[in-house]
Amino acid sequence: MLMNKRILFVGGKGGVGKSTSAAALALLHAKEKKKTLLISTDPAHNVGDIFHKELTNQPIMVLPNLNAIEIDPALESKRYIQSVKENIHGVVKSTMLDEVNRQIDAASSSPGAEEAALFDRIVSIILDEGEKYDTIIFDTAPTGHTLRLLTLPELMGVWIDGMLERRKKRNENYVQLLNDGEPIEDPIYEVLQKRKERFAAVRKILLNKGMTGFIFVLNPERLPILETSKAIKLLKNHELEVEGLIVNKVLSEQVEGEFWKKRKETEREYVRWIHKEFKNQDIHFIPLFETDINSVDLLEEYANKLATGSRIAF
């Protein structure tokens, strides 16, 4: 489940180990000589820390066969607005340009603008850069953001359909009233149509189970279990199926002392709950390490545990 997809999304609650798991999965793919791209879409970046490399919005090689990008939503938003302005430039009358630019600037500071820009970048990575890589792994922001992001192609599709419909009506009226029935060219209609096609293409890729996989990371604790369960159901409503779970930071059986023995006992109950709640999932357990996973050596150890995959809790 973890190794045979072209695109993997790694999601989960804050702090459970998404970035570590995404990096470990990327490492496993790269070791199999697959050209791999690891993308962090989280504003609180930490993929760079693991590899001790300063990452940017363009791919940088962090290990053989492994490139990584960190997408900064604020920067992405600026670039996106610039490209929208350039697109519009040739389309509207020059007398209107100042007003249109003002409108675009206003829109760019509205809620959701960064999200839209981030999404646009993800779309372009999947569609335009996908060819260059065997595997693309997304380390996503905590659950809520990711769910919105993944369901955006569907929502945007509906929204653009509405816009297209209105423009079509307007064009038809215009043609009848002013253009003697001759069809007119409408560049905005074409831009919208193209966006719609790109979103549809991405949605098709996301829905293709042979191609795209969704993995959730959780810890054997109450809130991550509840949140994972909710997220899986929500994605299912959008026909996106989560196939794999990584249960991270599981305590060793060899814990000593009353306190830790008690904690381990509580954890066992959560593990039982996980097995019951997520029957159809491929579940991998990873132990709690003595320290943070902050070096490539430790990441390799983490990756090996993922690859050998303990399916039952130890």
Q: Which does 249 bind (CB under 5 to 8 A by kind): ligand ATP, Mg ion, none?
A: ligand ATP
**222: which 2 tokens?**
């109450």
Among 8, 12, 19, 249, binds Mg ion (CB under 5 A): 19
- Nearer Cβ to Mg ion (9/199): 9
- 219 binds Mg ion, rule: CB under 5 A: no
- 21 binds Mg ion, rule: CB under 5 A: no
CA–CA gap between residue 154 and residue 294 (Å, rounded): 37
- 20 binds ligand ATP, rule: CB under 6 A: yes
DSSP string, 248-276: EEEPPTT--SHHHHHHHHHHHHHHHHHHH
Give the type of residue at 250. Answer: V
Number of residues that bind ligand ATP (CB under 6 A): 20
Among 1, 6, 35, 46, binds ligand ATP (CB under 6 A): 46
Q: Give the contact letters, 288-307, x = binds to ligand ATP (CB under 6 A), - = no.
A: xx--xxx-------------
Angle 22-25-29 from CA coordinates, rounded to 5° = 135
Residues with Cβ < 8 Å from 96, sequence gap 6 or more?
none
- Nearer Cβ to ligand ATP (17/59): 17
CA–CA gap between residue 231 and residue 225 (Å, rounded): 10
Phi/psi zone of residue 288: left (φ > 0), alpha (ψ -120 to 50 degrees), beta?
A: beta
CA–CA gap between residue 184 and residue 46 (Å, rounded): 51
Which one of the spans 41-49, 143-151, 177-185, 188-196 is the region binding ligand ATP (CB under 6 A)? Answer: 41-49
Among 29, 121, 198, 249, binds ligand ATP (CB under 6 A): 249
Phi/psi zone of residue 180: left (φ > 0), alpha (ψ -120 to 50 degrees), beta?
A: left
Half-sphere exposure of 19 (CA within 13 A, CB side): 23
Least distance to ligand ATP from the beta carbon of 286, Å?
Answer: 5
Q: Which does 187 bind (CB under 5 to 8 A by kind): ligand ATP, Mg ion, none?
A: none
Q: Phi then psi for 278, rounded to 5 degrees?
A: -115, 55
Least distance to Mg ion from the beta carbon of 35, Å?
Answer: 23
Q: Which residues in the 135-164 window bind ligand ATP by CB under 6 A?
A: 142
Least distance to Mg ion from the beta carbon of 48, Å?
Answer: 11
Distances (CA, A) of 78 to 63, 70, 83, 129: 30, 16, 9, 21
Residues that bind ligand ATP (CB under 6 A): 12, 14-20, 42, 44, 46, 142, 248-249, 286, 288-289, 292-294
Residues of this chain that bind Mg ion (CB under 5 A) = 18-19, 42
